[in-house]
Amino acid sequence: MKYLWMTVVLAVFVVGCGQEKAAPATNHDGHNHAAMEKTAAPADAEKLIYYTCPMESHKHIHSREPGTCTECNMTLVPGVITTEDKMEYYGCPMLIHSHVRQDSVGRCAECKMELKPMRLKKA
């Protein structure tokens, strides 16, 4: 009887493990960027990445929430992934690397992610 129960428990464990779904691939920051890229900029939609100061000299100021710049008190504007025809620069889609901006296609110097077409949405 004891062996029967052990066999049943083992069988349930084996069947349960065989049906386990694979977790989505994530990178070092724990985010599933492959899924984020699929929804990044369908058609004319824009995806909000962060809020930042509109002054070029304060591009290192960024926040997850709207607010004001800690250096000049200007209202922070949304930085969004957009289409190439509306872009102002290529930027890293990671909040902590929002200061990485350049004029041409490339990769982020800090995380090696592909830079995306971005712009600042000024109201």
Between 86 and 31, the more confident residue is 86
Asked if residue 88 belongs to a domain, the reply is: yes
Pair 67, 113: CB distance under 8 Å: no
Asked if residue 27 belongs to a domain, the reply is: no
Asked if residue 71 belongs to a domain, the reply is: yes
Asked if residue 67 belongs to a domain, the reply is: yes
Pair 89, 101: CB distance under 8 Å: yes
For the full predicted model, state whether its pTM sits above 0.75: no
Asked if residue 25 belongs to a domain, the reply is: no
33 pLDDT higher than 50: no
Asked if residue 73 belongs to a domain, the reply is: yes
Please count the other Cβ atoms lying within 10 Å of the Cβ belonging to residue 66: 10
> Rounded to a whole number, what is the distance in angstroms from the first to the last CA of the chain?
74
Provide the pLDDT confidence category of residue 46 given band limits of 50, 70 and 90: confident
Predicted pLDDT of residue 31: 47
Asked if residue 66 belongs to a domain, the reply is: yes
Radius of gyration of the CA atoms of the chain, in A: 22
Pair 49, 33: CB distance under 8 Å: no
Range of the domain at 97: 39-123
Average pLDDT of the residues of the chain: 78
Cα–Cα nearest to 105, from 120, 77, 82, 84: 84
Asked if residue 43 belongs to a domain, the reply is: yes
What is the count of structural domains for the chain?
Answer: 1
Cα–Cα nearest to 100, from 110, 57, 9: 110
Pair 78, 122: CB distance under 8 Å: no
Alpha carbons 101 and 108: distance in angstroms, whole number: 8
Please count the other Cβ atoms lying within 10 Å of the Cβ belonging to residue 42: 9
